Amino acid sequence: MMSIWVVFWMLIFVFGIIGAFRGWVKELLVIFSVILALFLLYISEKYLGFVKPFSEILGNIGADVAFNTLADDIKNTIQVQFWIRTIIIFLLALFGYQTPKLSFIKDKAGREQVQDILFGAILGAVSGFLIIGSLWYYMDQAHYLFAPYISMPIIGDELGDKALNAVKYLPPAIFSSELVLLAIIGISFLFVLVVFI
C-alpha cells in the first residue's frame, strides 16, 4: 500500500507538469479559483450554516477513530459535508482550468521563454497543493471516509507521521483565520488588477 504522503507529492508533481504546459497566467486563474472556493466554504460554514464544521458533527470523537466505527447518522452527515466541500472545490477549479475566452487574457497567456514554462510549473504545483491539499484536509477531517482504499496514516510509521504533521499545513488549515483569508483574497484581487488589466 502506498502512503498518502507519497501520493500527495506525486500529484503535486503532475500538477506542476500540467502548469508548465498551460502557462503561468492560466495557472494563476486556477489558484484564484481555489482561493475563491475556500473563501466561499468559509463564509458558508461561518455565516450561512450551509456547510457544517466537522468538529460540530463529530463532537468529542477523537481524530484517531476510524470512519467505519462511527454511528450511521454521523457517517451520513460527514459524507454529505465532505461531498459539498469537494464539489465546490472541484467546480471552481474546473472553471479556473477553462481556457479564457477574453482576448486580453489570451495575449498575456502566450508563452515563449523558458522562465515562463518554469514559472508555469511552479504555479501549477501551487494549484495542485491548493486542490489536492484541500481535499486531503477535508478527508482527514472526515476520518478518511474512503477506507480501506484510502486509510488513515499510521502513527509511528515514518511516512505516516509526516502525513499527520502535514495536515496542519494544508490550505484549509492555513486559511482558517478570517484575517489570513481576507488578506489572501485582497492579494488575489490585486494580482488580477496588475496582471490581467
Q: What tens digit of pLDDT does each residue of 50-75 get? A: 899 888 888 878 777 777 778 888 88
Q: Taking the model in full, what pTM does it have?
A: 0.87
pLDDT digits (tens, 9 = 90+) for 72-100: 888 889 999 999 999 999 999 999 888 66
- DSSP letters, 13-67, are HHHHHHHHHH-HHHHHHHHHHHHHHHHHHHHIIIII-SS--HHHHHTT--TTS-G
Percent of the chain with pLDDT over 90: 40
Q: Taking the CA atoms of the chain, what radius of gyration do you get in angstroms?
A: 18
